[in-house]
């Protein structure tokens, strides 16, 4: 599972390879009022930079990762996330 980081998280490439636990917390629009799935958390690795103005949030999840935590028709969702270290 992979994601791209916005400019603040990317930090000139320092975030590449870091792991984050991402949780769907709700909808950002009225299109899909309850987008989160029954398993709303996924672990992702940052593999790319999501440059402005195209990046609409902190993380741009791959389709596969997004589909685990939310209905893909939602397009955008509210999330919480935290970095975690693997052993």
What residue ranges do the domains of the chain occupy?
2-26+38-83
> Is the model's pLDDT at 1 over the cut of 90?
yes
Entry pTM: 0.93
Q: Which of 5, 19, 11, 15 is nearest to 60 (CA)?
A: 5
Query: How confident is the model over 79-84, as a mean pLDDT?
Result: 96
What is the share, in percent, of the chain residues with pLDDT greater than 90?
80
Cβ neighbours around 87 below 10 Å, total? 2
Please tell me the CATH superfamily of domain 2-26+38-83, with its number.
RlpA-like domain (2.40.40.10)
What is the share, in percent, of the chain residues with pLDDT greater than 70?
100
- Enumerate the H helices of the chain as residue ranges: 7-10, 63-69
pLDDT reported for residue 3: 98
Q: What residue has token string 């593999």?
A: 47
Mean pLDDT over all residues of the chain? 94
């Amino acid at each position: 599972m992979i994601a791209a980081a916005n400019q603040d998280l990317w930090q000139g490439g320092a975030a590449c390879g870091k792991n984050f636990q991402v949780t769907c917390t709700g909808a950002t629009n009225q299109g899909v009022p309850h987008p989160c799935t029954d398993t709303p958390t996924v672990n992702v690795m940052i593999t790319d930079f999501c440059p402005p103005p195209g990046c609409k949030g902190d993380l741009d999840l791959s389709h596969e990762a997004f589909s685990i935590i939310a209905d893909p028709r939602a397009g955008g969702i509210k999330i919480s996330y935290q970095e975690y270290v693997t052993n």
